[in-house]
């Protein structure tokens, strides 16, 4: 067991990266092209996507105008993690993100777990983004009178289920005209149409999300041919979508009615926190920035700046957009897939020309999200391959384009093929829990870092500020416990008397976890910022439901099986020459 927890020293990690260590190729390393502005743009590209053009509507509907507090809380939770990421990035300027950072602090087994977790996060998240992009794209085409056939715009399973549902209603004697008049059946009717109009190969109905395949192919090709080309395309698209978001904020401000902000929190804290998975899904972009460390011109300086700047910029934009949306119309009307277009439509400001601009910018915004995460995943595979935990081909670098070519192609396939056929209504939650787990381990790993202030006159880099949590963390724990007992006694009573005990387990585990951190902070003088990151991310994980915990656990179990079948035997730490 001790061997499984062996760490790879920071010096060895950096040496391996500098030598471009790979059993598959020795033609050169990655190309250093990215500066602070480029990294900030990558972060904004990943964060300003589905969250601001789609998920913010559902979150506002559940939480009312008080949803701004959800954005603040999520940004603070991400901020603690971002500071820990920035500390690691300044010490270990190597691709691999949380996987590499964990390898240096918590050991190989934990590093494999987080590497496997990141693969799920990036792959499933990108499948969801590809499908969401397809919905925006086909909606935009339909708005210009160029509808795409339904059987080419949805997954096979949704179409089949819709067909079965409508067929059952027709069998009960209802007519198709009656069903069409029922707005609650609109999605099932689209699926029914897709199934009945689809071409067939024998008895097989050809139903697939073709636009999702096409955008994934285009983005993968762009990532494959080079980081320079990807950077230029991303910077241009980010500039355009940020301008559109700012324009929406300014234009919408003239149509805000302050009466719509009352009541400010109609559904209380529970309503505000209902949107946590969707909002957090939008905030994970700075994680992807850290995977580009070996393509930064000055990673120790630029990575921390890019992470923190993108987080601040996007938080401000999210809060302003939320205030404008909930001020223009009642929060009750925002349970729609395109809230920005809705508030400028006939039931809002009635500016159809602006709705068209928003639709185009949404398509661009989703494409940039896909681009950033298609950049990130191959580089995590590359880092794991360098350590022997994946086959050497995963770290092969293209001699001309200087990109991890095999991992990039495989990433495209892993995203493109499932996006054709899968129904992923719950992937947001699964992706969020995986990301929170990564943040949790990075914050935990930061507690194991030794102080290594550079000597006087050396090049300055980012340092995680040390604040002693000896008294602050126990005080926060006591205030939280007393606050729940004093201000929410009904919630405490309901917790201990609820019949559905299974769904209370995550919160109970979090309570024990928080108490343990309070004790350790008092006895070990733990650094406050990483501990606050552990507490905030741990709490957010409890809000994602026990079903997602079970799915997440199954995914990690499969990963552990692969590790013990392949990774543990091939690990370079098991070789005689490996550094302990």
Percent of the chain with pLDDT over 70: 86
State the greatest distance between any 2 C-alpha atoms of the chain, in Å, as a whole number.
Answer: 84
Q: CA–CA distance from 309 to each of 44, 72, 362 (Å)? A: 9, 15, 22
Nearest to 81 by CA among 574, 570, 531: 531
Which two three-digit tokens encode residue 380? 């995590």
**Residue for token pair 């416990």:** 481
Q: What is the DSSP letter of 54?
A: I
Contact of 195 with 207, CB cutoff 8 Å: yes
CATH 1.10.3720.10, applies to 3-12+35-144+212-446: no
Q: How far apart are CA 29 and CA 40, in angstroms?
A: 23
Q: What is the pTM of this model?
A: 0.83
What is the per-residue pLDDT for 578?
47
Q: Taking the chain (580 residues) in consecutive chunks of 10 residues, what is each chunk's mean pLDDT?
A: 70 73 49 88 83 75 85 84 88 86 90 87 81 82 83 84 88 83 78 89 86 91 89 90 88 88 82 71 74 86 89 89 88 78 78 80 86 89 89 89 91 86 61 82 88 54 85 91 58 53 76 93 93 89 79 88 88 61
What is the per-residue pLDDT for 22?
40
Contact of 77 with 442, CB cutoff 8 Å: no
401-445 residue pLDDT tens: 888 999 999 999 988 888 777 665 555 566 778 888 888 999 999
Cα of first residue to Cα of last residue in the chain, in angstroms, is 15
Rounded-to-10 torsion of CA 515, 519, 524, 530: 20
Which two three-digit tokens encode residue 327? 């001020």
Nearest to 210 by CA among 153, 290, 268, 280: 153
Q: What is the residue extent of each domain of the chain?
A: 3-12+35-144+212-446, 156-207
Q: What is the DSSP letter of 145?
A: T
**Residue for token pair 């493109």:** 416
Which two three-digit tokens encode residue 527? 């650094």
Nearest to 99 by CA among 414, 565, 434: 434
Which two three-digit tokens encode residue 303? 């990575």
Q: How far apart are CA 96 and CA 447, in angstroms?
A: 19
Q: How far apart are CA 471 and CA 515, in angstroms?
A: 13
What is the per-residue pLDDT for 487?
47
What is the per-residue pLDDT for 408?
93
């Amino acid at each position: 067991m001790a061997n499984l927890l062996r760490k790879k020293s920071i010096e060895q990690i950096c040496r391996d990266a500098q030598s471009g260590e790979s059993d598959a190729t020795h033609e050169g390393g990655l190309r250093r092209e990215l500066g602070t502005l480029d990294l900030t743009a990558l972060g904004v590209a990943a964060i300003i996507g589905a969250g601001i053009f789609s998920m913010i509507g559902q979150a506002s509907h559940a939480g009312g105008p008080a949803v701004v507090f959800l954005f603040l809380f999520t940004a603070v939770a991400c901020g603690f993690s971002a500071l820990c990421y920035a500390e690691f990035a300044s010490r270990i300027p190597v691709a691999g993100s949380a996987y590499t950072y964990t390898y240096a602090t918590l050991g190989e087994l934990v590093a494999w777990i987080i590497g496997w977790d990141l693969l799920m996060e990036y792959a499933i998240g990108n499948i969801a983004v590809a499908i969401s992009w397809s919905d925006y794209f086909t909606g935009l085409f339909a708005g210009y009178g160029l509808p795409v056939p339904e059987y080419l715009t949805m997954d096979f399973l949704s179409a089949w289920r819709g067909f079965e549902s409508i067929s059952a209603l027709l069998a009960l004697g209802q007519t198709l005209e009656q069903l069409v008049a029922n707005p609650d059946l609109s999605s099932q009717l689209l699926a029914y149409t897709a199934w009945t109009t689809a071409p067939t190969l024998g008895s097989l109905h050809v139903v697939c999300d073709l636009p999702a395949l096409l955008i994934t192919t285009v983005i993968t090709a762009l990532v494959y041919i080079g980081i320079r080309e990807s950077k230029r395309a991303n910077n241009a698209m980010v500039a355009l979508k940020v301008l559109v978001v700012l324009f929406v904020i300014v234009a919408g401000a003239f149509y805000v009615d302050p009466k719509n902000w009352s009541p400010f929190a109609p559904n209380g804290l529970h309503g505000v926190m209902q949107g946590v998975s969707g909002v957090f899904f939008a905030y994970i972009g700075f994680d992807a920035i850290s995977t580009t460390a070996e393509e930064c011109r000055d990673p120790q300086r630029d990575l921390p700046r890019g992470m923190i700047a993108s987080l601040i910029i996007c938080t401000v934009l999210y809060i302003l957009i939320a205030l404008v949306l909930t001020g223009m119309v009642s929060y009750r009307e925002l349970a729609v897939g395109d809230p920005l277009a809705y508030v400028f439509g006939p039931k809002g400001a009635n500016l159809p020309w602006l709705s068209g601009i928003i639709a185009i910018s949404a398509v661009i915004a989703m494409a940039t999200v896909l681009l950033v995460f298609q950049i990130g995943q191959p580089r995590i595979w590359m880092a794991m391959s360098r350590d022997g935990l994946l086959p050497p081909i995963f770290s092969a670098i293209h001699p001309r384009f200087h990109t991890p070519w095999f991992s990039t192609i495989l990433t495209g396939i892993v995203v493109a093929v499932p996006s054709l056929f899968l129904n992923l209504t719950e992937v947001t939650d699964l992706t969020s829990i995986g990301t929170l787990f990564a943040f949790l381990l990075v914050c935990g790993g930061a507690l194991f870092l030794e102080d290594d202030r550079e000597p006087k006159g050396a090049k300055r880099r980012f340092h995680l500020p040390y604040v002693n949590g000896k008294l602050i963390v126990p005080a926060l724990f006591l205030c939280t416990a007393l606050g729940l007992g004093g201000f929410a006694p009904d919630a405490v009573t309901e917790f201990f008397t609820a019949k559905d005990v299974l769904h209370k387990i995550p919160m109970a585990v979090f309570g024990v976890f928080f108490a343990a951190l309070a004790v350790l902070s008092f006895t070990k003088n733990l650094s406050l910022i990483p501990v606050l990151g552990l507490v905030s991310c741990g709490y957010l994980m409890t809000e994602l439901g026990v079903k997602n915990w079970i799915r997440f656990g199954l995914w990690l179990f499969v990963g552990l099986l692969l590790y013990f079948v392949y990774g543990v035997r091939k690990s370079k730490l098991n070789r005689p020459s490996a550094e302990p």
